[in-house]
Structure 1
Amino acid sequence: MTILLTGAAGFIGSHLTRQLLAAGHVVIGLDNFDDQYDPALKRQAIRPFIRLANYRLVTGDIRDQALLAEVLSQYRCDTVVHLAARTGVRASVHEPALCIDVNVTGTLALLEAMRVSNVRRLVLASSSSVYGNSSFVPFREDDEANGPLSPYAMSKRSAELLAHTYHHLYGFDVACLRFFTVYGPRQRPEMAISKFTARLLDGKPITLYGDGSTTRNYTYVQDTVTGIIQAIHHLGGFDLLNIGGMASISLSELVHLIEQAVGQRAIINWQPAQPGDAQSTCADLRQAQARIGYYPSVSIKEGIGRFINWYKKQALNQPIV
C-alpha cells in the first residue's frame, strides 16, 4: 500500500510513519514544518526515515491543491491519512482565521486533489472537541455534534462534513477518527502533560485553569496509531469513530499521577477556566470496537510512566518550554 500521510513530521504522524514502514507500506510524508512549535523537533522526529527506500518526504502545504494532486499521481498513492492541521482549542480562539483556513480549506484542497487523481480512500483525523459540552456521556458517534465551543472544534466538524460530502458524491471510502487527547513521547511541547512535566522537573509552577474538576479521556499515542492502522485496513463506506483511551480522569488526578511518576510535588498557579474548553470528554468505544476492532491497551498510569521515562532519557537535553 502506498500512503500519502499529511502532517507526517508531527507528533502522531512520526509515530504512525514508523509503524507503517515497519509493516512494509510505502509512506509519502507531507509536512510544511510550520512554526506552531519548533520545526527542529519535527525534523528530528522523521530523521530515522529519510534514507529508507519506502519513505519519501515532501515539503508542502495542504492548501496547495496542485501540489497534492501531483504527489498523489507521481507516487501512485492509493490511500490518504490526513493528520495535518492547525491544532489547539485555545490557539484557535486567538487565531480563528488561520485555524479555519488550514483545517477546512486545506481539507477541501486535499479532497479535490484526491478526486482529480482518482484516489478514493481516506482516513481523516478529527477530534473529541466536536462534541462540545454534550449532555450524552460517554460521547457516542451518533451525537449531532452541533455545539462546537471553539473554532478548532468547528473546523474539525466541518472537515468531517466535507469528507461525507465527497463520500456521497464521489464514492470515497472514509473513516473520520475522533481522537481523544493523545499523549506520549514527542507530544507537542504546549500540551498539558508535556508542559506540566517540563515545568515540574524544572521546579517551576504549573498553571491550571478552572478548579481541577475538568475531565479528559487521555489516549496513549501507540493506541491512537493502532486505531489509525485498523481504520486503514477496514475502510469501506463512511465511518465516524471514537479513538480514545481506557478511561477519563480529572485534571487534578492527572497532575497527581505526574507528581507520582516524577517524584516531586507541583507548585500550582490556579487561573479561571478558559473560553472554549469543554468540561469533560469521555469516549464510547463500542462502535470502534465493532467496526475496526479497536481496543486501547495502555492505561493512563502506565502511559504517564512511559512518557516520564522517555522525557528523562531524551528531552532533558532540550529547552524546557
Structure 2
Amino acid sequence: MLETFSNKSILITGNTGFKGSWLTAWLLHHGAKVIGLSKDIPSHPSHFEAANMGDRITHIWGNIENLATCQELIQQYQPDFIFHLAAQPLVRQSYREPHTTFTTNVVGTLNILEALRLSNHPCTAILITSDKCYDNLEQVWGYRETDRLGGKDPYSGSKGAAELVIRSYTASYFSSGDSPVKVAVGRAGNVIGGGDWACDRIVPDTIKAWSSDQPVLIRNPHATRPWQHVLEPLSGYLTLAAKLANNSLLNGETFNFGPSAEQNYTVANLLNSMQQHWTNAAWTDCSNPESLYEAGLLKLCCDKALHYLGWKPILTFKETVALTTQWYQAYYSDSREVWQVTQEQIACYETYAQERQAVWTISCASPATS
C-alpha cells in the first residue's frame, strides 16, 4: 500500500503541526516528494523543527485562509495527493478565538476545495476533520459516519460546518465517474505520540512538567477518551488515499479512524500508565466544576473502515503509551537525533502492522452513502 506514494508529489497542509510532521516523515520514509503548506510553527519546541524537516521537503509559508495562496500552490505543483490537515485544533483555544477557529477550519477547507475545482487536475484529496464533528450525546456506543453532525463548542461546530462544505463541493463538482479529482474525509479523535508540544493537551502538559521534575495539574482526570498513537489514524489516511486513488466507489465517502472499542481509558489511566515509563513522575487532580464544556465520553465505530478499506488499529493501549513516552525520553535525554527516533518508531509500527496483518483485501462493494 505505501509503495503507492513513492516518487509521487504530495501536498500536506498543516505540515508543521503534530500530525502533519509525522505524516511528512512517514511519506519521506517511502520516497514521496512532499510539499508542505503552513502559516507558522505552531509550538516551540516542535517535531518539525527538531527533526529538520524543513530541509527535507519543499516548504511553503502561507495561510489556507487565503484562496489565492491555495490556488497558486495547487496550480503550480499539481500534486498527485493532498492531505489537508491545517486547522485550529484546540477546543479551549476555540473558546478564546471562535472567529479564527471557524475561519481556519471552514474557510480554509473551502479554499482547498475551490483550488482543486479550479485546477481540475488528477488528484486524490484526503480532508481531515475530527471525531468532534459529531453531535455528541455522550452515548456509550461509537459514532458511525451516518450519525448527526453538530458540536456544542466552537471547535466542534467548525468541524461539523467544514464537513457540510466538503459534502456540497463533492456532490456539486467531484461526483461524476470521470472527475479527475477524488475526495474523501478522515475523522479521528485524540491522538498522542512523541513530538506534540501543543498547549492545553494532556501529554504535552504532562511531559513539560515531568521534564522539569514538576507534578502536572489535571483538570478532568475522569474524562474518557479513545486514546490512540498518532501513527494509527495516519495509517488510516494513507490507506484511504491509496484505495481511493484506484477505486472511484470511495469518492465522497467519510471514514472514522479510531482505536478499538475496549481502548477507551480515562485521563487518570493514561497518566498512571505513563508514570511507569518516567522516573519521579506525579500528577495532581485540580478539577474545576466551572470549567468550560468538554465532552466526557466520545468514541468512534470504525466498522466502515474495516469493511471497505481493510483498516484496523493495531496498537494496544500499553504500546501506545510506551511509544509516546519513549520518544520524549529520547528527546530529553538520548543522544540520538529526533529524525532517527521518528524513523525507528515508524519502522516499529510497520513491523507491528505486518505481524498483525492490519491491512486486508479491499471490498469492491460500494459504501453506503455517509
Deviates more, 1:21-30 or 1:176-185: 21-30
SS of structure 2 residue aligned to 1:234: helix
CA 47–200 in structure 1, closer or farther in 2 if over 3 Å, else same:
closer
Q: Does 1:173 align with 2:176?
A: no
| Corresponding residue number in structure 2 for 1:8 | 15
SS of structure 2 residue aligned to 1:24: coil
- For residues 128-177 of structure 1, the C-alpha deviation after alignment (integer angstroms, 9 at most, x for no partner) is 1122432362122121123x021111111111111111110001532211
Please state how far the C-alpha of 1:105 moved relative to its aligned partner: 1.2
Residue identity opposite 2:146 in structure 1: D
| Corresponding residue number in structure 2 for 1:18 | 25
CA 252–42 in structure 1, closer or farther in 2 if over 3 Å, else same:
closer
Q: Does 1:281 align with 2:309?
A: no
SS of structure 1 residue aligned to 2:87: coil
Counterpart-to-counterpart distance in 2, 1:289 and 1:25: 26
| Corresponding residue number in structure 2 for 1:47 | 52
CA 205–263 in structure 1, closer or farther in 2 if over 3 Å, else same:
closer
Q: Does 1:37 align with 2:37?
A: no
| Corresponding residue number in structure 2 for 1:124 | 127
SS of structure 2 residue aligned to 1:204: coil
Residue identity opposite 1:50 in structure 2: D
Counterpart-to-counterpart distance in 2, 1:267 and 1:5: 36
Deviates more, 1:162-171 or 1:11-20: 11-20
| Corresponding residue number in structure 1 for 2:313 | 296
Counterpart-to-counterpart distance in 2, 1:48 and 1:173: 28
Counterpart-to-counterpart distance in 1, 2:191 and 2:133: 15
| Corresponding residue number in structure 2 for 1:254 | 270
Percent identical across equivalent pairs? 28
Q: Does 1:310 align with 2:327?
A: yes
Match of residue 145, structure 1, among 130, 134, 149: 149
Please state how far the C-alpha of 1:81 moved relative to its aligned partner: 0.8
Please state how far the C-alpha of 1:204 moved relative to its aligned partner: 2.2
- For residues 171-210 of structure 1, the C-alpha deviation after alignment (integer angstroms, 9 at most, x for no partner) is 1532211111111111134221121133134332322224
Residue identity opposite 1:24 in structure 2: G
Whether the 8 Å contact between 1:149 and 1:278 is mirrored in structure 2 is no
User: Structure 2: any 5+ residue segments left out of the alignment?
Assistant: 1-7, 175-180, 245-249, 335-370
Please state how far the C-alpha of 1:43 moved relative to its aligned partner: 4.6
Whether the 8 Å contact between 1:89 and 1:276 is mirrored in structure 2 is no
CA 316–90 in structure 1, closer or farther in 2 if over 3 Å, else same:
farther
SS of structure 1 residue aligned to 2:11: strand
Please state how far the C-alpha of 1:277 moved relative to its aligned partner: 0.7
| Corresponding residue number in structure 2 for 1:84 | 86
SS of structure 2 residue aligned to 1:271: coil
Residue identity opposite 1:129 in structure 2: K
Residue identity opposite 1:194 in structure 2: P
- For residues 18-40 of structure 1, the C-alpha deviation after alignment (integer angstroms, 9 at most, x for no partner) is 22223233221111115x423x6
| Corresponding residue number in structure 1 for 2:352 | none
Counterpart-to-counterpart distance in 2, 1:250 and 1:43: 29
Please state how far the C-alpha of 1:45 moved relative to its aligned partner: 4.6
| Corresponding residue number in structure 1 for 2:358 | none
Please state how far the C-alpha of 1:58 moved relative to its aligned partner: 0.9
Deviates more, 1:109-118 or 1:15-24: 15-24
Q: Does 1:241 align with 2:255?
A: yes
Please state how far the C-alpha of 1:49 moved relative to its aligned partner: 5.7
Whether the 8 Å contact between 1:33 and 1:42 is mirrored in structure 2 is no
Deviates more, 1:258-267 or 1:42-51: 42-51
Counterpart-to-counterpart distance in 1, 2:127 and 2:53: 25
Counterpart-to-counterpart distance in 2, 1:90 and 1:184: 20
Whether the 8 Å contact between 2:135 and 2:148 is mirrored in structure 1 is no
Whether the 8 Å contact between 1:93 and 1:276 is mirrored in structure 2 is no
| Corresponding residue number in structure 2 for 1:204 | 214
Whether the 8 Å contact between 2:213 and 2:281 is mirrored in structure 1 is no
SS of structure 2 residue aligned to 1:262: coil
Whether the 8 Å contact between 1:196 and 1:206 is mirrored in structure 2 is yes
Q: Quick check: which one's strand share is greater?
A: 1
| Corresponding residue number in structure 1 for 2:109 | 107
Please state how far the C-alpha of 1:239 moved relative to its aligned partner: 1.6
| Corresponding residue number in structure 1 for 2:359 | none
> TM-score scaled to structure 2, two decimals?
0.78
| Corresponding residue number in structure 1 for 2:34 | 27
Counterpart-to-counterpart distance in 1, 2:10 and 2:48: 20
SS of structure 1 residue aligned to 2:52: helix
Counterpart-to-counterpart distance in 2, 1:182 and 1:280: 15
Whether the 8 Å contact between 1:63 and 1:102 is mirrored in structure 2 is yes
Whether the 8 Å contact between 1:215 and 1:250 is mirrored in structure 2 is yes
Counterpart-to-counterpart distance in 1, 2:116 and 2:265: 39
